Amino acid sequence: MQRVLTPYDRLAVWLASRGPESLALLLTRVALAGIFWRSGRTKVEDGSALTVSDNAVFLFEYEYTGLPLPADIAAPLATYAEHLFPALLVVGLFTRFAALSLLGMTLVIQFFVYPEAWWSTHVAWVAMAAILVSRGGGTLSLDALLASRRAA
């Protein structure tokens, strides 16, 4: 006996297929990247590509005092990471690694900088990163292109 799919079941099957999933993963990559990219841009000198601002170092010295690294190391590391990993996410290159790195940054921020921000902010960042770590970048990514070339 063949089971007839309801309209809901057909919709669910379609939504779980490659196309919609890849669009959702692309949107997740761009959303998570945007959060960290914008944060990274606040840490650089105006008009420069990646020159860490004195204001950023000041924040790491006097506001982010719970970090286990000195400010002169933490400020550039965070600034560079907030540029590199979002760029990788947007193009979908090394997606799982980039998302895992941003997940790690989120947990550092959660535990050492803003522990009160879990439900207001960080839980969403963790959820987006976890989805990308578990599912990868989807078919609309350089990861998928490289994988198809390796398979050929």
Domain that holds residue 105: 28-151
Cα within 13 Å of Cα(130), Cβ side: 7
Rounded Cα distance, 74 and 56, in Å? 10
Domain-embedded: residue 16: no
Residue 1 has pLDDT above 80, yes or no: no
Domain-embedded: residue 61: yes
The proportion of the chain whose per-residue pLDDT surpasses 70, expressed as a percent, equals 100
The dihedrals phi and psi of 44, each to the nearest 5 degrees, come to -110, 155
Rounded Cα distance, 126 and 33, in Å? 13
Domain-embedded: residue 121: yes
3-state secondary structure of 52: strand
Residue 20 has pLDDT above 80, yes or no: yes
Count the domains in the chain: 1
Buried-exposed string 72-103: b where 16+ CB fall within 10 A, e elsewhere:
eebbbebbebbbbbbebbbbbbbbeebbbbbb
pLDDT class for 3, splitting at 50, 70, 90? confident
Q: C-alpha angle with apex 130: 126 to 133, nearest 5 degrees? A: 140
Domain-embedded: residue 21: no
Rounded Cα distance, 89 and 93, in Å? 6
Residue 4 has pLDDT above 90, yes or no: no
